[in-house]
Every structure is written in C-alpha cells, then in structure tokens.
Amino acid sequence: MKKILVFNSGYQHGGSDRLKQLIQVAKQSPIPAEIIGVVSNYENGAVQKIAEKIGLMFFHLPTDAETSDYQSVSVSSQADIFILIDWHLPLISMKPRSAFNQKPVIRLHPGPPNRFGNLGGAKMYREILAAFSRKEIKHCELNAHLLTEDGYRYLAHKDIIISTHDTRRSLEQKMKFQEIAWYEEILSLTLNGLAQKKLNSHTLAVV
C-alpha cells in the first residue's frame, strides 16, 4: 500500500473542498494507496480540522518555509507520493529531489495553468467565466504535472466544456463532479508509473 501525503494550503476557514474530494476518492478506490496525512500553511485552520476529524497526520509549513522544512516533513511522513492540490506557495526554485525525499511530486490544479493555476475558490471560477465571455478560452481544464528538478512536466489533463449558460456556481459544481472521477485516474496513473518505473521519464499521459 503506497502512502500519500497531500499538500493543501486551505485557509483559516474553508477552502479545502478539493482536499475533501481527494480523500473521499482515495478511501473508496480499489487502488492500493492511502492518504496518510496533510500539510497546510495554516495552524488550526480548515485543513488541520479535517485531518483531526478523520485521524490523519497534520504538518504545518509556514509561508516562508525553505527546502529543509519541506524535507523534514517529507521524511517524517514516510510518504511514497506527494500530491499538491491548491498549494499556494511556489516550488519552482526548490530542488524537489531534496525537498521531497527523492519521491514523486504531483501537482493537481485547474487551468489553463498559466492563467488560473494559482487562483482558487470563487475568484478562479469568476476569472474563467470572464475569459470565456471575452472568447479568450473555449474550455477550462484539469491538469496534473510532475515536479522535476527543472520545473513542471506535463502528466495529464482533462478538458471541461463551458456553456454560455454557466454561472460561477454551476461551473464550480461541474468541475468538482469531473474532478472526482479524474482523481482516481491520476492516482492509478501515478501508481502504474511507479510500478513500471516510467514516472520520472515523463512518458505517461492521459486526456
């Protein structure tokens, strides 16, 4: 059974819907992996409350955390895979082999990532709909990237159709519904990559 540690910034109150979905998918999935803990930028925030409620390990990383802080959490957790979902802190400047104990790091986020990857909550959905109304995008995306020594490498993505009738709330519900099935696909993809020793060569992709 592979152990997964999830990094989810959350907020002091709320902002952890995707974390809850991922935990639920992992519990119900036949895939041989389990979420053993979560990491947040907030002490006594929404993410920590979720962890305490269901008996997961909790780790706090402040916004000024350095590579050594990530390494300490990674080693302490004894996780095999690290998943970043709505993680608000940049990691490009870090050396993931050092910061994450030489284990795979998967970042899950909406997109297109260069426009909406660092947004979250209601603001993200409003920005997506605004871009759609200006005909700058035709759809939104779910993305998965592998964190490497030289940045992020594409792993998988899924297009989400936007309707002219969509509201912020309807688009949010649509994306969450799609994400639930997609999470299991990504977990399966990741574990298969580890088993076949292909993950670090970036040969895996699903659409």
For position 37, which CATH number holds? 3.40.50.170
Q: Judge whether 207 lies within some domain.
A: no
Q: pLDDT, tens digit, for every residue of 2-37? A: 899 999 988 887 767 778 888 888 888 788 889 999
Q: pLDDT, tens digit, for every residue of 102-126? A: 888 888 877 766 677 666 667 888 8
The model carries a pTM of 0.82
Laid out side by side, the sheet with 139-148 consists of 57-60, 33-40, 2-7, 81-85, 105-111, 139-148, 151-161
Q: Judge whether 153 lies within some domain.
A: yes
155, pLDDT greater than 50: yes
207, pLDDT greater than 60: no
Are the beta carbons of 38 and 47 closer than 8 angstroms? yes
Q: Can you point out the beta strands (E) in 61-194?
A: 81-85, 105-111, 139-148, 151-161
206, pLDDT greater than 70: no
Q: Judge whether 163 lies within some domain.
A: yes
Q: How many domains does the chain have?
A: 1
Q: Judge whether 147 lies within some domain.
A: yes
Domain span at residue 89 reads 2-201
Q: Judge whether 206 lies within some domain.
A: no
pLDDT class of 133 with cuts at 50, 70, 90: very high
Q: Judge whether 61 lies within some domain.
A: yes
Average per-residue pLDDT for the chain: 81
Check residue 92 and give its pLDDT: 59
Q: Judge whether 67 lies within some domain.
A: yes
According to DSSP, the residues that pair with 145 across neighbouring strands are 107, 154
Give 131-143 as a 3 state SS string.
HHHCCCCCEEEEE
